[in-house]
Copies of this chain bind each other. A is one copy, B any other.
Amino acid sequence: MAIKMYDLAGAEENRRFSPYCWRIKLSLKHKGLDFDTIPWRLTEKPVIAPYNSERVPVIVDNGRGVADSWTIANYLEDTYGDRLALFGSKSERALARFYNQWTDVTLHGAIGPIVVADILPHLDTRDRDYFRTSREARLGTTLETLSARRESYLSALHQVLEPLRQTLAAQPYLAGDTPRYPDFIVFGAFQWARSISNVRLVQPSDPIESWRQRLLDAFGGFARRAPGYW
């Protein structure tokens, strides 16, 4: 039976913009596991409450619910160890954690102010008030103010991306010759931005962009087929 996955959706049902959900969709593809996504909106917390989560991704595999992207990635690796590895070894799994935290804190923190105002018009109308109120409280300013400062946020992002740029100038994927979970973690951040904002975060000549294009092409163009701007 295919795995079910609750996946954050916008007003358009096929606009899926959660970076955490993207990590898991690419991981499921990487392991060659069948799955169906269920579109989920920010205000539909009761739907996933049975799985002890207020956020997506949540997967349901053979009746068992698993929440939180890091927990799900570990569950998939442990449960489907005969499939292509997401981590490969115990120490590789440990090394992946810093990629996870760096992406959650530093990379998302740098991308957020650039794209957050563009999320609003893509949201289901039921989600818009909740989104504006919660995000403006978290960011400490209005969405419009953030948009006005976009150029300076883009410049700060360019600096944040420099270690990633240098790494991907030296090798095709973060995990080497082929992608593994750390690649999917970082790629999720770009897929989030791509799905809701037409602001290009990386230029065509950037090694990060070449890597992103390779992952857009992966799994028969799975990530590229998703609605997005660039």
Contacts and interface: CB of A to CB of B under 8 A. Distances in A.
Given A89-B89, A102-B102, A94 B163 contact: no
A134 interface: no
Question: Looking at A90, A95, A101, A167, which has the most chain B CB atoms within 10 Å of its CB?
Answer: A95
Contacts of A92: 88-89, 91-92, 95
A176 interface: yes
A163 B88 contact: no
Given A89-B89, A176-B90, A98 B97 contact: no
B91 A171 contact: no
Given A91-B92, A92-B89, A98 B163 contact: yes
Nearest to A173: B94
A155 interface: no
Interface string A73-101: 00000000000000011111111111101
A180 B89 CA distance: 13
A72 interface: no
A164 B98 contact: yes
A106 B163 CA distance: 7
